[in-house]
Amino acid sequence: MARITIVEDDVWMREELIDILQKEGFEVTAITDFHDVVAQIATLAPDLVLLDINLPEQSGFEICKSLKSKGIAPILILTSRDKLQDELHGLHLGADDYLTKPFNRDRLLARIQNLLRRFEGQPGLIDGGSFSLDPNTFTLYKGPQSLLLSANEGKILLALVQNRPEVVSKRALSELLWGTDQYIDENALQVNLTRLRKALRQLGLENQIETVRGQGYRLRGQVKR
């Protein structure tokens, strides 16, 4: 059963959406406290977010942008704003679809089913033991906390997670980051490792990466079987 979170401040509209979706067999949660909406949605981890734009505490556009940065998708914007520039702005921020009110019930359900099919089977979060990593966005998750890594930091961490408990050589990491291990100053790799370790510390994940002298790096901890 797909889980849908509704972000809609109009009570009547919200109740109508809940009724429509529940009758179609979806598990529905509606946001009613519009403070820290992104954190609430991240905790719920829905399969799809139905997002209004005109909200009391924060613009739906800002929420959309934050959700995409955390790899939370898909997002269907459902709004009374019917101007092309609003639709384009929402799509440029990462919204996966855009539908205006008043909406046709069957059209809404068709859009939702299309999005769920599109995202079905896409790689989910990778278990790093003490944390999770989105391999598509390089967003790092630990409990309710999340952090968007840079591309290089994400590539290194993903390689370490996928190879743990084995050591990943400096050469392999250099090829991963720059496509070659030639003419690469080892200090450049060190700088990226230092930045990654600093990022991990922000989520209380100190000492996750072990340096194996003369060989490379590996992730500490046991692999879950």
Predicted local confidence at residue 222, as pLDDT: 52
Predicted local confidence at residue 28, as pLDDT: 95
Predicted local confidence at residue 181, as pLDDT: 63
Predicted local confidence at residue 221, as pLDDT: 67
Residue-by-residue pLDDT tens, the chain, 225 positions: 899 999 999 999 999 999 999 999 999 999 999 988 988 887 787 889 999 999 998 999 999 988 876 667 789 999 999 999 999 999 888 899 999 999 999 999 999 999 998 887 665 677 788 888 887 778 888 876 788 899 899 999 988 988 888 899 988 888 888 876 665 667 888 999 999 999 999 999 988 999 998 889 999 865 444
Predicted local confidence at residue 98, as pLDDT: 96
What CA–CA distance (Å, rounded) separates 91 from 137?
A: 17
What CA–CA distance (Å, rounded) separates 16 from 10?
A: 10
Spell out the domain ranges in the chain.
3-120, 126-219
Say what the pTM is. 0.59
Locate the DSSP E strands across 66-208. Answer: 75-79, 97-100, 126-127, 132-134, 139-142, 145-148, 168-169
Burial, 115: exposed, middle or buried (Cβ in 10 Å; 0-12, 13-18, 19+)? Answer: buried
The CATH number of domain 126-219 is 3.30.2020.10 = no
Spell out the residues 6+ positions from residue 4 whose beta carbon is closer than 8 angstroms to its own. 21, 26, 27, 28, 29, 46, 47, 48, 49, 50, 112
The DSSP call for residue 87 is H
Cα 173–Cα 178–Cα 180 angle in degrees, nearest 5: 80
Predicted local confidence at residue 183, as pLDDT: 54
Predicted local confidence at residue 225, as pLDDT: 40
- Say which CATH superfamily domain 3-120 falls into: Response regulator (3.40.50.2300)
